[in-house]
């Protein structure tokens, strides 16, 4: 019964927040799409997440199914999504696809997608091909599975252990609004390179949203339907581009599917407002006219497990 309630409650979520949450990239600010392949790594990925957090940046992760199976369960993947990041398909075991039969290629993406769905309730809508191989057979398989191919412009090649300066110079050579940067959450060199990119471009007003083709319209509903009693809450938030300045989001806890979850909003490091989700799982809070960094937490209603952290982000409005 509880499970049914959860599914019913989740079904209404799509109305609240299509796509879970979409990072606002105002038309005036150039955007860079950071992508991390081949994770998760139990040591490196949590640090990558902290660095992104500190800079209010979001990214798109392309884990392999096999690595997910080794290292991450539902809570970790849902936490990644709570923080506004997106997830894509990077096959099951990272083979050189051009050496395989097309049925084996298809199987690689089906198994890679299933590993994500087991943990999140939805299959990724985008994929990255191992080693960036391009061939018509692979493209046909991706099309058949409804997966959008994600390529990249800049590849700082952490495997060569470049210095931060060399890596940043490489990204600058490909600098363009909407560029995709290939990184890997499995080597420590990536951490310094990521810091260098975020500092350099953050200072110049660039924004770092997740890839839109990796968001699924009913992600929030499907993620919620995958939760069972005792799980931690999940959610997401965005800054609406029109209307009064506000933060708007959704949160779902299988232990309280009827809503009423406590949501805490902090602004510039200070507690700003504590509110409750409605029966539609939504919440919304007006923000002061001048606001820097906004962080959101959701209180856990079930077993004494963790609250959910929905991340910290800076609204895309000008500080006037
Ligand atoms: Zn890879």
How far is it, in rounded angstroms, from Cα 140 to Cα 305? 44
Architecture of domain 23-214: Alpha-Beta Barrel (3.20)
CA of 285 to the centre of ligand 1 (A): 40
Question: pTM of this prediction?
Answer: 0.89
Q: Where in the chain is the domain with CATH 2.60.40?
A: 233-313
User: Is the CB of residue 17 less than 8 Å from the CB of residue 236?
Assistant: yes
Q: Give the Cβ contact number of residue 217 at 10 Å.
A: 13
CA distance 229 to 216: 24
Q: What is the pLDDT of residue 243?
A: 85
- The DSSP code sequence of the chain is -HHHHHHHHHHTHHHHSTTS------TTS-BEEEEEES---TTHHHHHHHHHHHTT--EEEE--HHHHHHH--HHHHHHHHHTT-EE-B--SS---GGGS-HHHHHHHHHHHHHHHHHHHSS--SEE--GGG---HHHHHHHHHTTPEE---SB---GGG---HHHHHHHHHHT--TTEEEEEETT-THHHHHHHHHHHHHHHTT-B-PPPGGG--TTHHHHHHHT--TTPPPEEEEE--SSSSSEEEEEEE-TT-TT---EEEEEETTEEEEEEE--TTSEEEEE--SS---EEEEE---SSS-PPEEEEEE--SS---
What distance in angstroms lies between residue 123's CA and the mean position of ligand 1's atoms?
18
For ligand 1, the distance from its centroid to the CA atom of residue 128, given in whole angstroms, is 8
Q: Rounded to the nearest whole angstrom, what is the distance from the C-alpha of residue 21 to the centroid of ligand 1?
A: 26
CA distance 208 to 57: 5
Compute, in angstroms, the gap from residue 47 CA to the centroid of ligand 1: 19
Distance 95 CA to ligand 1 centre (A): 9
Distance 249 CA to ligand 1 centre (A): 32
Select 233-313's CATH number: 2.40.160, 2.60.40, 1.25.40, 1.10.3470. 2.60.40
Instruction: Tell me, in angstroms, the distance from the centre of ligand 1 to residue 131's CA.
Output: 6
Rounded (10°) angle between helices 136-144 and 102-120? 40
Can you give the pLDDT at residue 242? 84
Question: Which part of the chain is CATH 3.20.20.370?
Answer: 23-214
Q: Which pLDDT score is estimated for 28? A: 77
- Per-10-residue mean pLDDT, the chain, length 320: 40 36 57 97 96 95 98 96 97 97 97 98 97 94 97 94 95 97 95 97 95 94 95 94 91 95 94 95 90 91 84 79
pLDDT at 320: 53
Q: What's the gap in Å between 37 CA and the centre of ligand 1?
A: 5
pLDDT at 304: 72
């Amino acid at each position: 019964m509880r499970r049914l309630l959860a599914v019913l409650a989740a079904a209404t979520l799509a109305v609240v927040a299509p796509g879970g949450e979409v990072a606002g990239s105002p038309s005036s600010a150039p955007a860079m799409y950071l992508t991390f392949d081949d994770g998760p790594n139990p040591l490196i990925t949590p640090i990558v997440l902290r660095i992104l957090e500190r800079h209010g940046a979001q990214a798109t992760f392309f884990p392999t199914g096999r690595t997910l199976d080794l290292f991450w369960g539902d809570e970790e993947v849902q936490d990644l999504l709570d923080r506004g990041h997106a997830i894509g398909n990077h096959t099951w075991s990272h083979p050189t696809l051009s050496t395989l039969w097309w049925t084996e290629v298809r199987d690689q993406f089906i198994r890679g997608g299933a590993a994500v769905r087991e943990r999140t309730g939805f299959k990724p809508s985008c994929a990255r091909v191992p080693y960036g191989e391009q061939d018509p057979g692979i493209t046909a398989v991706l099309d058949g599975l409804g997966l959008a191919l994600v390529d990249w412009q800049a590849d700082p090649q952490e495997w060569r252990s470049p210095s931060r300066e060399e890596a940043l110079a490489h990204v600058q050579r490909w600098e363009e609004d909407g560029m995709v940067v290939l990184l890997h959450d499995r080597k420590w060199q990536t951490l310094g390179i990521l810091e260098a990119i975020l500092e350099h471009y953050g200072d110049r007003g660039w924004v770092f949203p997740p890839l839109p083709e990796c968001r699924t319209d009913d992600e929030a509903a499907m993620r919620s339907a995958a939760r069972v009693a005792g799980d931690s809450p999940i959610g997401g938030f965005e800054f609406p581009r029109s209307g009064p300045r506000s933060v708007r989001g959704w949160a779902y806890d299988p232990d309280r599917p009827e809503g009423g979850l406590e949501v805490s909003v902090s602004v510039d490091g200070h507690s700003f407002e504590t509110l409750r989700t409605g029966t539609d799982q939504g919440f919304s809070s007006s923000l002061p006219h001048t606001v820097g960094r906004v962080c959101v937490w959701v209180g856990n209603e079930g077993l004494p497990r963790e609250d959910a952290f929905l991340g910290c982000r800076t609204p895309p409005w000008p500080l006037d």
